[in-house]
Amino acid sequence: METNTFPGRYESLADISEFVLSAAKAAGLDENATYAVQTAVDEACSNIIEHAYGGEGKGDIFCIVSHTPQSLTIVLKVFGRPFNPKAIREPDIRASLKRRKEGGLGLFFIRKLMDEVHFEFSQEKGNQLTMVKRKEKVP
């Protein structure tokens, strides 16, 4: 398990991506899975900065990575505003751009890119997003 703390700023996204890239390589993920993990973490961290913290520089993002022979787990922990992921409706991606409602695409992409996505909210322990990417089985 490896942990790193990043300032909740958009300029931290590149450093977070590098941290996750290193973990994905250590876990033995292929190129496609690594890209999916980096994209999901980038989206999650952007949402944390914008929504949980309400802007840049208002809190830190704690990133914990661990892996098993079968998967990579990324935990993002923050002390910002919680939200109810069940209240976010899945976007109608078939609707035209004019008719499509704002919001929800980030969470939609995170769920599509990762194999498992779990949220936990606690005033004492902070808000935690756990994402798991399993390794592809080689035939």
Mind listing the pLDDT tens digit of every residue in the chain (139 residues)? 999 999 999 999 999 999 999 999 999 999 999 999 999 999 999 999 999 999 999 999 999 999 999 999 999 999 998 877 666 666 555 555 555 455 557 788 999 999 999 999 988 888 999 999 999 765 5
For position 122, what pLDDT does the model report? 87
| Listed residue (70, 52, 60, 49) closest to 132, CA to CA | 70
For position 104, what pLDDT does the model report? 52
- Nearest-5° Cα angle at 96, 91 to 42: 45
For position 108, what pLDDT does the model report? 85
CATH number for the domain whose boundaries are 2-134: 3.30.565.10
Q: Running DSSP on this structure, what letter comes out for residue 132?
A: E
Tokens representing residue 138 in the block: 């080689």
Residues 6 or more apart whose Cβ sits within 8 Å of residue 118:
129, 130, 131
Q: Which residues pair with 7 in a beta bridge?
A: 60
- Sorted by where each begins, the domain ranges of the chain are 2-134
Residue 3 to residues 22, 31, 43: CA-CA distances in angstroms? 12, 23, 19
For position 91, what pLDDT does the model report? 55
